A and B are shown apart, each in its own frame.
Chain A
Amino acid sequence: MSERPDLGTAMREALPVYEASPALQTWAREEARKFDQEHLPKPESVDHTSRLAVWRLSQWRIAAGLLIAAAVGYGAGSLGLAARASSAGNEITNALVDTHVRSLLPGHLLDVQSSDRHTVKPWFAGKADIAPAVVDLSDKGFPLLGGRLDYVDGHTAAALVYGRRQHTINLFVWRAAPADPSDGSFAVRGYSLVHWTNGGLSYWAVSDAAGSELEAFRQAYTH
């Protein structure tokens, strides 16, 4: 060898620089776009027509905000209570969305894969301390795909997985606690959540399907 390379050259020759896999890149890009879509640029960067649209939108936002504040305030009895409920809700809805997103990565979705509720329900026995109702809703457009044990925000949860056309719905079930947010619909980072409580169990349905579809899912599941 005539010339000795310097350390940087020698290291770059000997040690690889890695590329994130295409699956990881695609997933990360989708997450980024969902986030960016919820944090659109300020009005000053858009042209006249869009500015009008943004102005209309902001009017609409204010109106919607007032309505929401009124509704939440009414429900909780006071604004102070409403604020607290909302921040507790934020934490849990964020954790639920994180878990939902993680479940969609290859190999993470199902521990037991079956469209037969007689296979899925016994699978949970002895694994979770709760036995959620496992109902097949394929006739209502929500085929049962299987189930999984998961851990969300300090809860061991049974996760039932349903399909909705190209979407996946995770239904997380755990023992209800007094601190749980009250029932309702939520949207976090482009995902929809519907929460309800029944028979001492807390249910959270999470999906990237539209909120109205999740509400239809709740009705199908509870009836």
Chain B
Amino acid sequence: MTLLSYAGRKVDMGGAEAPQTGRFERTVLPHLSAGFTLAMYLTGNSADAEDAVQEAILRSVRYFQTLRDDDARAWFLTIVRRVCLTAYRTNRPQGTDMISIDTVGLQLVDDREQPDTAAERLQVQQRVRDAIGQLPPLLREAIVLRELQSCSYAEIAAVTEVAVGTVMSRLSRARAQLAALLRDVVDFGDVA
């Protein structure tokens, strides 16, 4: 809290300096869309996802001094995830699926689409969506962070607030469940 007359002068000093991007804008804002994507997969609709990201930005401003290292993405995604969980856990019955990818309005744009293979590829994509949608929420969240948002194991561990070993076990269970459904169309390498 600062007295007004004091703060009024505080911002007037820029003068001759070239405008510089501030630290918050530089470190947190690049991850806005990553946060929005995570919120979309957690809440299932854009209105809730927008609200969650707004709340996350307000919290980020307030707790910015808790950002110690350069891993701003994991830090911001952690806040987004916490907002989503606290906002949606309260008004859902116990055991209800937290994430519902089915209700997300999926709109795919693929410029490389070949007319003769389009139907087959669209069918595969639908099967992938259905399979991901059937995963338990914690497994789905881990695989979405890993494959869609290219997070490292350490980042996923930070964002979901569990140990790296837990992340690896969730990812491997997610892959095994997906392999059971998709092995004929997706290459799972070593996963038996």
Interface residues of A (CB under 8 A from B): 1, 3-8, 10-21, 24-25, 27-29, 31-33, 35-41, 46, 49-50, 53-54, 57, 60-61, 64, 68, 71, 86, 89-90, 93-94, 98, 101-102, 105, 184-190, 192, 210-211
Contact = CB atoms under 8 A, between A and B. Distances in A.
A73 to B, nearest CB: 13
8 contacts: A10-B128, A13-B128, A28-B53, A31-B61, A35-B61, A49-B16, A50-B17, A89-B1
Contacts of B24: 32, 35-36, 39
Interface residues of B, number: 67
Contacts of A38: 7, 10-11
Given A20-B33, A50-B17, A90 B148 contact: no
Interface stretch (B86-94, B152-160, B162-170, B179-187): B179-187
Nearest to A6: B187
B153 to A, nearest CB: 14
Interface centre among B8, B22, B149, B182, by most chain A C-beta atoms within 10 angstroms, is B22
B186 A10 contact: yes
B124 A10 contact: yes
B1 A90 contact: yes
B192 interface: no
Contacts of A54: 13
B130 to A, nearest CB: 9
Interface centre among A19, A25, A31, A190, by most chain B C-beta atoms within 10 angstroms, is A31
Given A14-B129, A18-B40, A68-B6, A33 B22 contact: yes
Contact of B6 (A49, A64, A210): A64
A187 B13 contact: no
A40 B13 contact: yes
Interface centre among B4, B40, B147, B189, by most chain A C-beta atoms within 10 angstroms, is B4
A212 B15 CA distance: 22
Given A15-B132, A24-B50, A35-B24, A7 B178 contact: yes
B66 interface: no
Given A12-B147, A14-B108, A24-B53, A32 B33 contact: no
Given A1-B124, A7-B178, A39 B4 contact: no
Chief secondary structure at chain B's binding surface: helix
B25 A187 contact: no
Chief secondary structure at chain A's binding surface: helix
5 closest Cβ contacts across the A-B interface?
A36-B22, A211-B4, A187-B7, A14-B128, A14-B125
Contacts of B22: 32-33, 35-37, 39-40
Given A1-B185, A11-B143, A17 B149 contact: yes
Given A14-B108, A14-B124, A187 B185 contact: no
B105 to A, nearest CB: 9
B68 interface: no
Interface in B12-38: 13, 15-17, 20-25, 28-29, 32-33, 35-37
B54 A102 contact: yes
Nearest to B150: A8
Nearest to A188: B1
Interface string B75-107: 000000000000000000000000001000011
A11 B147 contact: yes
B175 interface: yes
Contacts of B3: 64, 68, 71, 184-187
B76 to A, nearest CB: 11
Contacts of B64: 35
Contacts of B101: 15
